[in-house]
Amino acid sequence: MRRGLLFLFALALHAQDRAAWMRDAKFGVMTHYLADWIARGTHEPMSIDRWNSLVGGFDVERIAEQLKSTGAGYYVISIGQNSGYYLAPNTVYDKLTGISPSKLARRDLVADLYEAMHKRGIRLMVYLPSGAPSGDKAAVASLHWRNGPDRNKEFQQKWEQVIREWSLRWGKKVSGWWFDGCYWPNTMYRTEDGPNFATFAAAARAGNPDAALAFNPGVIHRLISITPYEDYIAGEIDDPEKIAIKRAADGKQDGAQLHVLTHLGAQWGMGAPRFTPAQAAEWSRKVVREGGAITWDTPVDPTGLIAPEFAEQLKAIGNAVHDDVPRTRR
- The answer to the question of residue 205 being in a domain is yes
255-289: b or e for each residue (b if 16 or more CB lie within 10 Å)? Answer: ebbbbbbbbbbeebbbeebebebeebbbbbbbbbb
Residue 172 vs residues 30, 33, 150, 203, 210: alpha-carbon distances, Å = 19, 22, 33, 14, 8
Domain count, the chain: 1
- The answer to the question of residue 227 being in a domain is yes
- The answer to the question of residue 216 being in a domain is yes
| pTM for this entry | 0.94
| In contact, 252 and 232? CB cutoff 8 Å | no
- The answer to the question of residue 18 being in a domain is no
- The answer to the question of residue 317 being in a domain is yes
Parent domain of 136: 25-323
- The answer to the question of residue 220 being in a domain is yes
CATH of the domain at 237: 3.20.20.80
- The answer to the question of residue 330 being in a domain is no
The Cα–Cα gap between 151 and 149 comes to 7
What pLDDT tens digit does each residue of the chain (330 aa) get? 455 545 445 544 545 899 999 999 999 999 999 999 999 999 999 999 999 999 999 999 999 999 999 999 999 999 999 999 999 999 999 999 999 999 999 999 999 999 999 999 999 999 999 999 999 999 999 999 999 999 999 999 999 999 999 999 999 999 999 999 999 999 999 999 999 999 999 999 999 999 999 999 999 999 999 999 999 999 999 999 999 998 888 899 999 999 999 999 999 999 999 999 999 999 999 999 999 999 999 999 999 999 999 999 999 999 999 986 554 443
